Amino acid sequence: MTQALLNARVLTDDGFATGLAVLVDGARIAAVVSRDDPRAAAASVVDLEGAYLVPGFIDCQVNGGGGVLFNDEPTVEGIRAIGAAHRRYGTTGFLPTLISDDRDVMRAAIDATDAAIDAGVPGVLGVHLEGPYLAPERKGTHDATKFLRPDDEDVALVASGRRGVTLVTLAPERVGDAELASLIARGVIVAAGHTAADYATARRALDAGVRGVTHLFNAMTPLTSREPGVVGAALDHADSWCGLIVDGHHVHWATLRIAIAAKPRGRMFLVTDAMPPVGSDRPWFELDGRRVELVDGALLNPDGVLAGSALDMLAAVRNTVRHVGLPLAEAARMASTYPAQFLGLGASHGRIAAGYAADFVALDDELTIRATWIGGQGN
C-alpha cells in the first residue's frame, strides 16, 4: 500500500517546505503533493510530527563500521555489517571502500560488492577502491609496499564490477595516459588522491576526465603562492568535485569555509572516511598489523598519522551547520544530493521528488535521527 509521509519539513529543491505529503510506492517516491491531495488521504499515513525530512545520506568513502574493516572482511556479511552500523547515523547509500591492498583482495572486494547488491543488502551503491595506484610521498596511513603503477590487467580488474558504480582513487602522476583513458572509457569514476602531483599535472588529469579529488587537502600537494598544487587545481577547476572530511581533525573549520566559498555551489560533498570504531564500542582497530587508536576524537596510527576517521555522516552534517556555518538545507544536500550527482546517480538518488529512491532521514530540531528509510523500508 502507498505510504504518505506527513507533517514534516520536507527538503525540496527550493528549501524546506511544510504542508506536503511524500507518497511512497514500494522503493520509489510516487509523488510529492499537497497534504490535502486525495492520494494522501487514501494512503497509509506516517506522521513525522514536525521533523525535518531530508534525502538519505550518501557516503562515498566508508572503510569500515560496526567493528568491521572492509579490507579484513571483503564479504557480503562484512558489507552488511558496515552498512547497518552507518544506517544508525542516516547513511542510506554507501560505497564500501578498500584501502590499498593486493589484487586478490581487490577482486574479493569487487565480487562481494556485486554479490551484496544482488542479495539486496540495504544501501550498497557500488565500491570504492582507494589505491593501490598512489604516491608514496603522500601515502598517509596506506601501506606503500602495496602501491602499483596500473597496467592493462589492473584496468580490467578495476572495471570488472557488474553492479553499481566503481570509484577509484589514484595519483594521476602514477598512471599512464592510456590507462587513465581506458578506466574512464569503461565507466569507472576516477578521483585524484594520495598524490604528489603539481598543479599542471592535476589540471591535465581533471581536464582528461578525472571527476574530482578524494578528501580535499588531505594526502595531496597544498595550495601555495607559487605552486597551487592539487588543492589549487581542484578549487580552480569549476567542474571538479571535492569530498570533504568535516570532523575538525582533517581540515580546519576556516579552511573548509574558504574552500566551499571558492567552488561553485554543489561541487563540495561530505564523506566520512570512516573506520571500524564508527557504530562500535571498541575505540581501536588494526590496519596492516598496526594498532590504530581513537585519541581525542581522531584515529591515529603509531606514527601519529591520521588513519581514516571516527566520523559518521550525521556528525558531518551537524559539524557543517554548527562549525562551518552553512544552513541545514545545504549541509543535507552536501550529504545526499551532491554525492549522488558525483556518482552519476543524480537522476535516481539524493532528492525528494517523484521517481527518486525512497531513501530518507527524519531529524528533530537537535539534528538527531528520528527514523531512516532505504527503498521505502523504514527503520
Task: Give the CATH number, domain containing residue 371.
Answer: 2.30.40.10
**What is the grid cell recorded at 79?**
558489507
Residue 215 assigned as binding residue: yes
Residue 347 inside a domain? The answer is no
Handedness of CA 296, 299, 300, 305 (dihedral sign): negative
Rounded CA gap, 347 and 355, in Å? Answer: 9
Calculate the average pLDDT of the chain.
97
Residue 227 has pLDDT above 90, yes or no: yes
Q: What is the mean pLDDT of residues 212-232?
A: 98
Mean pLDDT of 280-300: 96
Question: How many domains does one find in the chain?
Answer: 2
The pLDDT score that the predictor gives to residue 1 is 83
In terms of domains, do 18 and 86 share one? no
Q: Within this chain, do residues 89 and 32 fall inside the same structural domain, yes or no?
A: no
CA angle 349, 351, 353 (to 5 degrees): 110
Q: Is 219 annotated as a binding residue?
A: yes
- Over 90: is that where the pLDDT of 189 sits? yes
- Tell me: do 319 and 336 sit in the same domain: yes
Model confidence at 190, pLDDT cuts 50, 70, 90, reads: very high
pLDDT tens-digit map of 311-361: 999 999 999 999 999 999 999 999 999 999 999 999 999 999 999 999 999
Burial class of 88 by CB neighbour count within 10 A (0 to 12, 13 to 18, 19+): middle
169 within 8 A of 191, measured Cβ to Cβ: yes
| Residues 117, 83: Cα–Cα separation, whole Å | 12
- Mark out the alpha helices in the chain (DSSP H runs): 38-41, 76-87, 103-118, 152-158, 177-185, 199-207, 229-236, 253-262, 313-322, 328-334, 337-342
pLDDT at 261 over 90: yes
Closest to 355 (Cα-Cα) out of 367, 346, 343: 346
Separation between Cα atoms, residue 98 and residue 73, nearest integer Å: 10
Give 43-87 pLDDT, tens digit per residue.
Answer: 999 999 999 999 999 999 999 999 999 999 999 999 999 999 999
User: Catalytic annotation on 273?
Assistant: yes
Tell me what pLDDT residue 333 has.
98
Q: Nearest CA to 109 among 158, 145, 66? A: 158
> How, if at all, do strands 3-6 and 20-25 pair?
antiparallel
Q: Residue 67 — φ and ψ, nearest 5°?
A: 85, 0
Q: Is residue 31 part of a domain?
A: yes
Q: Say if residue 25 is in the same domain as residue 156.
A: no
Residue 356 contacts by C-beta under 8 Å, 6 or more apart in sequence? 28, 29, 55, 348, 349, 350
Q: Say if residue 270 is in the same domain as residue 156.
A: yes
CA separation for the pair 296, 208 (Å, rounded): 41
308 annotated ligand binder: yes
In a domain, 160, yes or no: yes
- Give the three cell numbers for residue 214: 578524494
* 138 annotated among ligand-binding-site residues: no
In a domain, 285, yes or no: yes
Residue 348 is assigned to a structural domain of this protein: no
191 a known binding residue? no
**Backbone dihedral angles phi then psi of residue 168, each to the nearest 5 degrees:** -125, 135
Residues 124 and 251 in one domain: yes
349 lies in some domain: no
Position 110 in a domain? yes
Q: Which of 154, 247, 273, 359 is catalytic?
A: 273
Instruction: Tell whether 65 and 113 lie within a shared domain.
Output: yes
pLDDT score recorded for residue 187: 98
2 is in an annotated binding site: no
Q: What is the pLDDT of residues 112-164, one digit of tens each?
A: 999 999 999 999 999 999 999 999 999 999 999 999 999 999 999 999 999 99
Q: Could you tell me the residue range of the domain that residue 36 belongs to?
A: 3-54+354-378
CATH number of the domain at 210, please.
3.20.20.140
| Residue 233 within a domain | yes
Same domain flag for 151 and 44: no
Quick one: which of 28, 9, 27, 30 has its CA closest to 18?
9
Residues 92 and 142 in one domain: yes
Mean pLDDT throughout 172-186?
98
Cell numbers for 226: 607559487
Instruction: Check whether 307 is labelled as a binding-site residue.
Output: yes
Grid cell, residue 10, equals 520536507
- One domain for residues 213 and 260: yes
Q: What is the pLDDT at residue 19?
A: 97
Say whether both 177 and 270 belong to one domain: yes
State whether 109 and 231 are in the same domain.
yes
Task: For residue 212, name the pLDDT band (cuts at 50, 70, 90).
Answer: very high
Can you give the pTM of this predicted structure?
A: 0.97
